[in-house]
Amino acid sequence: MGEQELVEALKDGNEAAFKYMVTSWQDMVYNTSLGLVQNEMDAEDVAQEVFVKAWESIGSFKGESKLSTWLYRITVTKSLDYLRSRKRKKRFAYVQSLFGMNDELVIDPPDFHHPGVVAEKKQLSASLFKALDLLPEQQKAAFVLSRIEGLNHKEVSEVLGTTVPAVESLLQRAKLNLRKKLENTYRKEL
């Protein structure tokens, strides 16, 4: 089924087309959300919300981008919305959990395993994902889409609704911030 046919079937309320869309893009949506929310159960919840939102708003899809780009955009928005609500609800507890008995910063390994990380790099990826979680939203989204999901700069700009130079700037700042955060973490461990 071609993309245009799929979109038309979705707009007609065809449930088989919806199942096809979910089957085709569920891994992409889940992995992207997992990279952002960093918790498997939360990523599953967000992925469900993404497909519900896609089903409800397919009528507004104009075909100006690929369907996958549109789904990435919904995934990033839903994931960041989830993070904002989680931070609002748990801000005080979260700040307390970052600090140990003597007010030293505590970095716990993430409570998830990302499918894109090979076993021998789990320790490094745990540190990376914890540092990634501290980045500003747009830097975090650009980094996940580019470095973890493998989108090129043009695709990332389409998902985030910005320009290629803006994406390059976000990625540059994300790399600098990650380097600082990782250097600080490893300096404390040595």
The CATH number of 3-189 is 1.10.1740.10
Q: What is the crossing angle of helices 40-57 and 67-98, to 10°?
A: 140
% residues pLDDT > 90 (the chain): 61
User: For residue 129, what are the CA distances in angstroms to 81, 83, 90, 112?
Assistant: 19, 14, 19, 10
> What does the pLDDT look like over 70-123, one tens digit per residue?
999 999 999 999 988 877 665 445 444 444 444 444 444 445 556 555 445 556
Give dist(CA 57, CA 23) in Å, integer. Answer: 18
Q: What is the crossing angle of helices 15-37 and 40-57, to 10°?
A: 140
> What does the pLDDT look like over 115-163, one tens digit per residue?
555 445 556 677 788 888 889 999 999 999 998 899 999 999 999 999 9
CA atoms within 13 A on the CB side of 84: 9
User: For residue 140, what are the CA distances in angstroms to 32, 134, 144?
Assistant: 11, 8, 6
Other Cβ atoms closer than 10 A to 162? 15
Give dist(CA 119, CA 111) in Å, integer. Answer: 15
| C-beta separation of 72 from 151 below 8 A | yes
pLDDT of residue 184: 74
Instruction: Report whether pLDDT(53) > 50.
Output: yes
pLDDT of residue 116: 54
